[in-house]
């Protein structure tokens, strides 16, 4: 009987991950691609060795922000996570290209926020390049490997100025 209850509970938890199920108890995953004008990335450290970043005002730079929020199921206590990738570019640039160690110069950081991890990490493996297509829009192509996890993030998207 215990095994039957365990099996039923496990099946219920996996039902949330089925995007085609049509249930209302799971929010779909979301992606955002924005640019924060006249901003820079500053790093922060806190007690318990937490390392993070924040975006502050700087007229000489623009901060690009890629955010992925996973599917979140309301009935699962530790469901969902948010990935944030940030990097900065000179405000007067019309294009950019950063590869591997050059990503440090762009203050490229990755942060996964969930029940499991909250620390930001500097990204130093991969490539990000972009081209300005209007005053408020850029096309950005990235193929990056996230530190410690070896997770790959790849995209070719339009980023819009906030």
Residue ranges of domains in the chain:
27-161
DSSP letter, residue 28 = P
What's the pLDDT band for 150 if we cut at 50, 70, 90? confident
1-54 pLDDT per residue, tens: 444 333 334 333 344 343 444 456 777 889 999 999 999 999 988 766 668 899
Q: Which position has the token pair 């955010």?
A: 67
DSSP letter, residue 108 = -
The radius of gyration computed from the CA coordinates of the chain, to the nearest angstrom, equals 19
Instruction: Tell me which range, 94-103, 113-122, 147-156, is most confidently predicted by mean pLDDT.
Output: 94-103
CA–CA gap between residue 56 and residue 60 (Å, rounded): 12
Across residues 68-79, what is the average pLDDT?
68
The answer, yes or no, to whether residue 94 has pLDDT greater than 50, is: yes
CA–CA gap between residue 3 and residue 9 (Å, rounded): 10
Other C-beta atoms closer than 10 Å to the C-beta of 145 total 16
pLDDT score of 78:
57
CA–CA gap between residue 75 and residue 16 (Å, rounded): 8
pLDDT score of 144:
98
pLDDT score of 36:
97
């Amino acid at each position: 009987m215990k095994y039957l209850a365990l099996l039923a509970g496990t099946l219920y938890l996996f039902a949330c991950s089925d995007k085609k199920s049509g249930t209302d108890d799971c929010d779909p995953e979301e992606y955002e691609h924005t640019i924060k004008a006249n901003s820079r990335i500053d790093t922060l450290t806190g007690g318990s060795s937490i390392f993070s970043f924040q975006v502050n005002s700087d007229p000489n730079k623009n901060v690009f922000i890629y955010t992925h929020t996973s599917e979140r199921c309301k009935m699962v206590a530790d469901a969902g996570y948010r990935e944030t990738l940030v990097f900065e570019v000179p405000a007067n640039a019309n294009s950019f290209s950063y590869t591997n160690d050059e990503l440090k110069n762009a203050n490229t950081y990755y942060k996964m926020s969930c029940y499991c991890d909250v620390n930001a990490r500097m990204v130093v493996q991969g490539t990000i390049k972009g081209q300005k297509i209007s005053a408020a829009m850029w096309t950005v192509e990235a193929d990056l490997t996230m530190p410690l996890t070896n997770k790959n993030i790849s995209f070719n998207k339009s980023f819009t100025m906030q």
